[in-house]
Amino acid sequence: MEKRRLGRSELEVTTIGLGCWVIGGWMWGGAEDDQSVAAIKAALDRGCNFIDTAPVYGMGHSEEVVGRALEGRRDQVVLATKCGLVWDERGGRKHFVDSEGRTIYTNLSAESVKQECEESLRRLRTDVIDLYQCHWPDPGVPHEETMTALAELRDEGKIRAIGVSNYSAEMMAECLEYVQLASLQPQYNMLDRSIEAGLLPFCREHDIGIIAYSPLARGLLTGKVTMDREFGEGDHRAKRPWFRPENRRRVLEFLDKIKPIAEKHDATLAQLAANWVIRQEGVTTAICGARRPDQAEENMGAADFELTDDDLAAIRRHLDELGDPE
């Protein structure tokens, strides 16, 4: 699989990576650990070298599963995790309350960041995190404090590169006063192209790699979320605008229009959606989640073909016709 340099860092990542939110079982209706381990191994066998997780995905569980799956194969992987969302006595600024009634806080204080790093190293069964990212901005902590703490972790050899997720261009500009950012991880897919207005140009200008999350729009762009689909308890997708029945119907009609493009490349709709993301200028990689090995293998196949300019133009035209969710 093609590899691309992540910003100005020394990290080279495959164009399709494996996102590990779903394997934590949190907010996705659960997951089976053995299947999750098999999915991670299947992604690696298919040529993927980029694994992205976070402590909050299952309150540490996703990291533990990743650590188990990578035993004996750690040297094959660019391993990314995050800091800044906590759920214990450390507290911080309230971020949201999950479906189980648990309060999730943002906390990017130096003390919390360093403690989180140690905990992630232990759960991941490794002595260094390749890419350490601030999961969400913390308005209660100055960027200088957080970035200084991350620089110290890098100098100590506990992390190799620094990234951020869900940050604005203004926030990143301030962070750049203290450290070089390797990456930004924003949501980006056919149904959510909001980063094109400002974030993509900013990152291109400052040589910050883009790690696109949710390239399949939480599974909606696979075409498998049909009108009769029901979501289990704790599955966050049921409340999202594009998943409402009236909007879901419009998405399925859009997918029917672009299906011939997928068929021309002998690709699935999921592969088409992910390929579209990695063909956008400034995007380094797209991370796709998977519960099972077959899903991981399908996602990795998104890197096996290249959309033409005509393909890209046709998809844009149909997206303009689709518009925004009602």
Active site residues per annotation: 57
Asked whether 112 and 141 are in contact (CB, 8 A), the reply is no
> What is the rounded CA–CA span in Å between residue 131 and residue 13?
11
Which tokens hold the place of 3? Answer: 């590899």
Which tokens hold the place of 312? Answer: 């890209």
Name the phi and psi angles at 197, rounded to 5. -70, -35
Asked whether 311 and 276 are in contact (CB, 8 A), the reply is no
DSSP 109-144: -HHHHHHHHHHHHHHHT-S-EEEEEESS--TTS-HH
Radius of gyration of the chain (CA): 19
52 closest CA partner among 149, 148, 193, 182: 182
Which tokens hold the place of 129? Answer: 């995190």
